[in-house]
Amino acid sequence: MTAQILDGKHVAELTEAELAQRVEALKERSGGRTPVLATILVGDDPASATYVKMKGNACRRVGMESVAIELPASTKTNDLLREIEQLNAKPDVHGILLQHPVPSQIDERACFDMIALEKDVDGVTCLGFGRMAMGEPAYGCATPQGIMRLLAHYNIEIEGRHAVVVGRSPILGKPMAMMMLAANATVTICHSRTRDLETLVRQADVIVGAVGRPEFICADWIKDGAVVVDAGYHPGGVGDIELGPLADRVSAMTPVPGGVGPMTINTLIQQTVQSGERALV
C-alpha cells in the first residue's frame, strides 16, 4: 500500500484561484472595494513576523488588502484591547487576526474574545467556538477547518470512523474534535498526559497529531490503512507524528511541510473573503 498524499499546498493553490475570481467579482459589485484583513503582531518574535508576512502575501495573491499593525513587546492587555476595539468599529475591516503567541504580560484569551464574531475569521473566540460546537454559524478555527477542507477535497470518509485527536489546545485540538464529531466520526481526545496513549492511537481510523511535540506519536502505534493528519511543525521539518515509516502502510497522510500548514493560511483568507462578501454586497 502506498499512502495517498494529502497535498495541502496544491489544494490551497486551487482555492486561491477560485478566491481571486470571487474577490474580482466583489470589486465589480461594490465599486472597487475588497475584503480587508487586519493583522496584529505584538513584539518582535521572528517566527510570528514570518507568519504574518505570509498571510499578507496570501491576501495579495487573491487581490485582497491587508493592514499590518505592529505593537511593541511592552504592550499591555488594555492597549491591545483598545486596538482590537478600534478595528471592530471600522466597517472597511472584515477580518481581524491576532498573531499567537503574544507576550506573557498580555491576557491573550481576553484579547481574542474582544474580536467581533463577524470579524473572527481565524476562529479564536469563545463565542465562535461555542457556536461552531453547537452547530450554529461561525467561522471555524483556521487549522482544524483547513484540515476538514483538505480531507473533503480528497474524499476521505469521516462518518462512522474512529478519529483520535492527540492534543487539546483551544484553537486546534478541541475544535478539531468538535468538527470531527459534527462530521459523524466517533472521537477520542487524547493529550501528552494520556495514560496508555499507544493503545488508544492503535484504535484510530483517523489520527490527528496536534500535541505540539516533535514526533511524539510513534509510527508503530498507527495501524495499517489509517488516515494520518499531522498538524505539527518543528525545526528540522518534522511534525508531531513519526511519518517516515508510514508511507507504505497507511491509506493517506499529510506531508510535513506542505500538508496542514498551507491550508491554515488558505482557510484564513477564504473566511476573510466570506466576511467581505457578507459586508460589501
Catalytically active residues, by annotation: 55, 99, 122
Instruction: Tell whether the torsion through CA atoms of 261, 125, 102 and 210 is positive or negative.
Output: negative
The three grid cell numbers given for residue 219, joined into one nine-digit string: 509510527
CA distance 48 to 53: 9
CA distance 215 to 238: 7
CA distance 233 to 142: 16
CA triplet 233, 239, 242: central angle to 5 degrees? Answer: 170
3-class secondary-structure state, position 151: helix
CA distance 228 to 1: 14
Q: Dihedrals φ, ψ of 215, to 5°? A: 50, 40
CA distance 106 to 142: 22
CA distance 175 to 216: 21
